[in-house]
Amino acid sequence: MFAFLLQQAPAANPVMSFLPLIFIVAIFYFLVFMPMQRQKKQQKEMLQALQSGNEVLTTGGIVGTIVSITGDMLILRVKPDNIKLQVARSAVSSLVTQDKPGDTK
């Protein structure tokens, strides 16, 4: 009877021992890296589509209207004194949307 208890369990399949780790890495990829890549792609598309007249927010918190675009540099007109600032295109964090009160449907 003791011989039965002292017998070693059969060796587990090495693939099965790594399966939980692979599962955790896959979940981490889908929850963290895929949304990050999607956000980078959207940011790149937004920067490519900038045009004169767009109102933008920079990473420094400056809100201005694009006056001109030359390569990777933008000239922004900043209110209230219509000061013109030269900023890098990569400094733009988002477009500012103008919500008008009468436009709700």
For 49-86, how does the pLDDT look when each residue is reduced to its tens digit (9 = 90+)? 999 999 999 999 999 999 999 999 999 999 999 999 99
Q: Which residue has the higher pLDDT, 5 or 38?
A: 38
Give dist(CA 62, CA 51) in Å, integer: 17
Overall residue count recorded for the chain in this entry: 105
The half-sphere exposure of 25 on its side-chain side, counting CA atoms within 13 A, is 5
Phi and psi angles of residue 45, each rounded to the nearest 5 degrees, phi first: -65, -40
pLDDT for residue 3 is more than 70: no
- What is the model's pLDDT at position 68? 95
Please state, rounded to an integer, the average pLDDT across all residues of the chain: 85
Residue carrying structure tokens 């420094």 = 60
- What is the model's pLDDT at position 57? 96
Q: Which residue has the higher pLDDT, 102 or 30?
A: 30
